[in-house]
Chain A
Amino acid sequence: MNRLAVTLPGLNLKNPIMPASGCFGFGEEFAKFYDLSVLGGIMIKAATGEERYGNPTPRVAESGMGMLNAIGLQNPGVEGIIETKLPFLGQFDTEIIANVAGSTPEEYEAVTRLISQNPVIKAIELNISCPNVKSGGLQFGTDPKMAAELTRRVKAVSDKPVYVKLSPNVTSIVEMAQAVEQAGADGLTMINTLVGMRIDVRTGQPILANRIGGLSGPAIKPVAIRMIHDVAQVVEIPIIGMGGVMEVDDVLEMIYAGASAVAVGTANFVNPFICQELIAALPKRMDELGIEHILDIRGNAYGAALHRA
């Protein structure tokens, strides 16, 4: 028995570790560092209907144990991704998850229809939580009715299971999770970044050209853990947890909180080998803690879910 293996809708993960969308490009750069086949899966950079350049620079700013980014969904467009990126990713023995974004429901549908038919893609991650674009993105991710409607429409055209990526920038993430579950989501991925801002005191102006950006990194981990903990207890669908994972105990924390797999984001920028290192470190840490299979601990931290916020 593979004590790290996790089976989720559409995904046979040999281990629960995957790089998070937007933090790994389309894998090409990281393939120079290690064999991507060691990964449980890869969540590739968001696809939109047309090619996008994204926001002006500066696009990143550091903060205490975190980073703000406002890339703005730069990508070659869904057709560009299918033609130039997926053949490369198809060489690896790992599960590829396509992140889908858009400005309108029609764009989300069109991108999903095209990319979900590709045999390299095993699941869709519906991005309704990008804080860095003017239209679409986060607006679908903060209103439960809009999120549910979009989930329903995307599910209807998708060839593959659909995971909805939830934003923490909401009053009740539990309500959002229940809304998309009822609308047919096969799983959840959470959390996306928290909207933030930093100001350069020499100029008195925001560091990011976009003024605001999404906060990621270890600073947001406790927020992610709490939200996974609350959501996992009230939904039936599985959760891929993410938010500030840097070390092997962070992975276990996410699973204790109720996640079934874990995505790694910002840490890839600090240490390009991080996903490989986490996968290698898991069995030893599980031995130390007396954990037989990784999912034996899933949700073991459950307590009273906080429905209020």
Chain B
Amino acid sequence: MIELLTVVSTKKVAVNATALICRMPEVKKIEPGRFMHLRVGPLLRRPISIANVEGDLITFLFKEIGQGTKELASLRPGDFVDALGPLGNGFPVNLIDPTSRVVLVGGGIGVPPLYYTMRKLVERGVTCEAILGFDTADSVFYEEEFKKLGPTTITTVDGTAGIQGFVTTALTPERFDTLLACGPEPMLRSLQTVPIQDCFLSIENRMGCGIGACFACVCKTPDGNYVKTCSDGPVFRAEAVIL
């Protein structure tokens, strides 16, 4: 479950966002929405979502925030990355009815796992649309890639690209029956109130172990209980978590 990935390339895809492509030791089937726990930075691993998997190639797309992600972005082809995973439970791609109308809603650095998710849904013949929200035109990435999979709407907070506003500005829930989302907590919280049949959210939390043992990333549930983001999630039904 721990293996060394070999760096194939790193590429800046937007201000502060880097795409890292690695070769896995073998071809792996990975469900969209799961994550890899990468050993970079001073001590602890970093949970990084999976933006794409093709054969033995895996793509991570992340924002350079701290020491760990900066280190990831500075890797050179041929370097190794110690990876634990894939971990967690992803989007229920195989349970989604092929006739359902699906919208994928991503905010900022929550966009990457939705690309792989949309690709897998389109492969199953599901019709999908995407709404991707960013701060500004400089931070937009993967617009063309998404457009190849289906209709894609871009929103920016400052209006420098696409529609000005948040993803919710562009969302017309009555046209869809399934919503899959990943992004900042305020965005996910507002999506919890969207009237739609099935809504799945990929949530983020500071993690320790990534396997459910340390209780760092717990999230309260409406029944007074709790779930662990890493091992019960990171994808949950919108009504199953209190954000």
| A residues neighboring B (CB under 8 Å) | 22-25, 28-30, 32-33, 45, 53-54, 57-67, 69, 71, 74, 217-218, 266, 268-273
Contact = CB atoms under 8 A, between A and B. Distances in A.
Contact of B216 (A24, A33, A69): A69
A217 B209 CA distance: 13
Given A57-B205, A271-B2, A71 B215 contact: yes
Contact of B42 (A29, A59, A65, A69): A65
Contacts of A30: 211, 213
B184 interface: no
B206 interface: yes
B214 A71 contact: yes
The 4 A-B pairs of least Cβ separation, nearest first, read A25-B213, A269-B209, A60-B216, A29-B213
B208 A273 contact: no
B43 A29 contact: no
Per DSSP, are chain A's interface residues mostly helix, strand or loop, or mixed? loop
A212 to B, nearest CB: 15
Nearest to A61: B206
8 contacts: A24-B213, A29-B211, A57-B205, A60-B44, A62-B41, A218-B43, A269-B213, A272-B211
A23 B43 CA distance: 15
A272 B43 CA distance: 14
A54 B218 contact: yes
Interface in B186-231: 205-220, 226, 231
B43 A66 contact: yes
A62 B44 contact: yes
Contacts of B210: 269
A268 B206 CA distance: 17
Nearest to B209: A269
Interface string B24-49: 00000000000000010111110000
B1 interface: yes
A282 B208 CA distance: 27
A42 to B, nearest CB: 12
Contact of B206 (A60, A63, A64): A60
Given A29-B213, A272-B211, A58 B206 contact: yes
A271 to B, nearest CB: 7
A62 B43 contact: yes
Contact-residue size bin, chain B (C-beta under 8 Å from the other chain): 20 to 34
Contacts of A59: 206, 208, 215-218
A269 B39 CA distance: 11
A53 to B, nearest CB: 6
A72 to B, nearest CB: 9
Nearest to A30: B213
Interface string B46-79: 0000000000000000000000000000000000
A65 B210 CA distance: 18
A67 B217 CA distance: 14
A71 B216 contact: yes
B42 A273 contact: no
A25 B216 contact: no
A205 to B, nearest CB: 14
A25 B43 contact: no
A54 B215 contact: yes
B36 to A, nearest CB: 14
A268 B209 contact: yes
B43 A217 contact: yes
Could you say which of B216, B220, B226 has the most chain A C-beta atoms within 10 Å of its C-beta? B216
A24 B215 CA distance: 10
A285 to B, nearest CB: 22
Given A24-B213, A57-B217, A273-B2, 16 more contacts: A25-B213, A29-B213, A30-B213, A32-B211, A33-B1, A57-B205, A57-B216, A59-B215, A60-B208, A61-B206, A62-B42, A69-B214, A71-B214, A268-B213, A269-B214, A271-B2
A7 B17 CA distance: 54
A114 B208 CA distance: 31
B187 to A, nearest CB: 18
Nearest to B65: A202
A69 B43 contact: no
Contacts of A272: 1-2, 84, 209, 211
A272 B1 CA distance: 10
A177 to B, nearest CB: 28
B213 A23 contact: yes
Contact of A57 (B1, B84, B218): B218
A33 B209 CA distance: 13
A269 B42 contact: no
A144 to B, nearest CB: 31
A286 to B, nearest CB: 26
A192 B207 CA distance: 21
A69 B216 CA distance: 8
A243 to B, nearest CB: 14
